[in-house]
């Protein structure tokens, strides 16, 4: 089959000509072959064949009138966010991030363990022991022995 004839789009008029026998045998064969590949076309041909007993034109006019009488859907207007609303959203996000960051800093246990890095452990000298009060002398002497 030619690629040009492969994609023929059949209309309602073509189906009516097929059913009335006004098409040539080769055109009828091509339409039947296309109906084998296209289930929508086959269904349309069956539907038109079943409608032959009734007045088809009268039914089509009725459907067109019913469609034209259908009211158009109302347009929906979408309200845009104001500039004030955008600032409120930005402030809320900033506040939330700040709270999360501060909570993390104050509750992180690893940071509190590493605070001793900057501290120096200075052992007291003998001069410190001699200049201190008696009860402090005992504490300082114990620290010297450690």
Give the model confidence (pLDDT) of 37-90 as tens digits. 999 999 988 888 877 656 767 777 888 888 888 777 778 777 777 778 888 999
Q: Which long-range contacts (CB under 8 A, 24 or more apart) does 33-38 make?
A: 33/1, 34/8, 34/10
Full-model pTM: 0.36
Q: In three state form, how does the secondary structure of 30-46 look?
A: HHHHHHHHCHHHHHHHH
Give the chain's mean pLDDT.
77
Which are the contacts of 31, defined by CB distance < 8 A and separation ≥ 6?
10, 14, 18, 23, 41, 45
Domain that holds residue 93: 85-115
Residues 62 and 14 in one domain: yes
Query: Positive or negative CA dihedral for 42, 47, 51, 57?
Result: negative
Residues 49 and 95 in one domain: no
**Do 65 and 7 share a structural domain?**
yes
For residue 64, being part of any structural domain is answered with yes
10 with 64, same domain: the answer is yes
Report the alpha-carbon distance of residue 118 to residue 113 in Å, rounded. Answer: 12
In a domain, 137, yes or no: no
């Amino acid at each position: 089959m030619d690629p040009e004839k492969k994609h023929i789009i059949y209309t309602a008029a073509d189906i009516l000509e097929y059913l009335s026998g006004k098409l040539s045998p080769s055109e009828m064969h091509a339409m039947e072959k296309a109906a084998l590949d296209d289930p929508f076309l086959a269904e349309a041909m069956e539907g038109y064949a079943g409608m032959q007993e009734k007045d088809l034109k009268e039914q089509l006019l009725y459907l067109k009138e019913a469609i034209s009488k259908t009211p158009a859907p109302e347009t929906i207007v979408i309200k845009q966010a104001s500039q004030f609303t955008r600032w409120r959203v930005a402030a809320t996000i900033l506040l939330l991030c700040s709270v999360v960051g501060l909570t993390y800093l104050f509750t992180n246990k690893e940071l509190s363990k590493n605070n001793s890095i900057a501290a120096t452990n200075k052992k007291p000298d003998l001069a410190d022991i001699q200049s201190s009060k008696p009860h402090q002398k005992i504490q300082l002497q114990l620290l010297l022995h450690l």
